[in-house]
């Protein structure tokens, strides 16, 4: 029987997914989006959301979506802290390529003790960003979500700083690494091909790269005013 205690891996995965999908402040998360994110059937999501409601971790209104309670948000931020600290530890201390750390952290995040979490945070100097630029929640579950825009939404002449990228597609991360493109780099959009075509982007090191829509949609930028 699947473990559905308040701190089981499946509960933590759902809390994390609900938080991540709702972080843009758009309101409750549709169960269809949750099913797509987790790769499960809508029926499985509906059953699990009811369990989360019973556990006091989420609130679900039929046809409106699901939101985390204060306790559910704490669970989500704790597992997110584990995940992102692990990613940074694997990347910086063990020198694992950044396209591989996500899969490893997905497994280890559920078994990391609070003592080992603190040791990792101390070793890394209490970091605030993971290798992909995502914010790491603090030990008391505060998180800084910066205002960013998708690179794909920018046009010629727009400039800013590339600050984070989705870690869900290792091939994308390898592509960026091969071109020495990483969070923190300043950029300027030079051109956009019509009909949803790629962007031509110049980075601060002088390199000019043509980036397709799927990749630019995964990259987030703090845009210059």
Residue whose pair of structure tokens reads 């669970």 in the numeric block: 75
* pLDDT > 90 in the chain, percent: 85
CATH 2.30.30.90 region(s) of the chain? 149-223
pLDDT tens for each residue of 67-87: 999 999 999 999 999 999 999
CATH 1.10.10.10 region(s) of the chain? 9-68
Q: 36-46 in b/e burial notation, b at 16+ Cβ within 10 A?
A: ebbebeeeebe
DSSP letter for 151, please. G
Say if residues 41 and 51 touch (Cβ distance below 8 Å). Answer: no
> 4 pLDDT band (50/70/90 cuts)?
low
Length of the chain: 225
pLDDT tens for each residue of 101-117: 999 999 999 999 999 99
Of 16-30, 51-65, 127-141, minimum mean pLDDT range? 16-30
Say if residues 12 and 79 touch (Cβ distance below 8 Å). Answer: yes
pLDDT of residue 77: 96
pLDDT of residue 1: 39
Show Cβ contacts of residue 24 under 8 Å, excluding neighbours closer than 6 positions.
Answer: none
Tokens of 114: 């609070």
The model's pTM is 0.89
What fold, for 149-223?
SH3 type barrels. (2.30.30)
pLDDT of residue 64: 83
Say if residues 196 and 213 touch (Cβ distance below 8 Å). Answer: yes
pLDDT of residue 205: 81
Query: 191: part of which helix (H) or strand (E)?
Result: strand 186-192
Distance CA 49, CA 37 (A): 14
For the domain spanning 9-68, the CATH number is 1.10.10.10
């Amino acid at each position: 029987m699947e473990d559905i205690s308040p701190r089981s891996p499946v509960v933590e995965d759902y809390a994390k997914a609900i938080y991540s999908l709702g972080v843009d402040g758009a309101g409750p998360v549709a169960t269809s989006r949750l099913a797509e994110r987790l790769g499960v059937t809508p029926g499985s999501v509906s059953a699990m959301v009811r369990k989360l409601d019973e556990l006091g971790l989420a609130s679900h209104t039929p046809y409106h979506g699901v939101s985390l309670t204060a306790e559910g948000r704490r669970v989500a931020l704790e597992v997110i802290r584990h995940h992102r600290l692990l990613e940074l530890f694997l990347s910086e201390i063990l020198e694992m390529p950044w396209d591989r750390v996500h899969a490893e952290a997905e497994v280890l995040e559920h078994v990391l003790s609070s003592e080992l979490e603190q040791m990792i945070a101390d070793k890394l100097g209490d970091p605030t960003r993971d290798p992909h630029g995502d914010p790491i929640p603090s030990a008391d579950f505060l998180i800084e979500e910066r205002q960013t825009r998708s690179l794909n939404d920018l046009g010629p002449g727009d400039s800013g700083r590339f600050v984070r990228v989705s870690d869900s597609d290792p091939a994308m991360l390898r592509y960026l690494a091969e071109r020495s493109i990483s969070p923190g780099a300043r950029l300027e959009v030079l051109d956009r091909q019509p009909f949803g075509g790629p962007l031509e982007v110049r980075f601060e090191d002088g390199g000019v790269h043509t980036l397709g829509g799927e990749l630019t949609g995964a990259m987030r930028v703090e845009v210059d005013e």
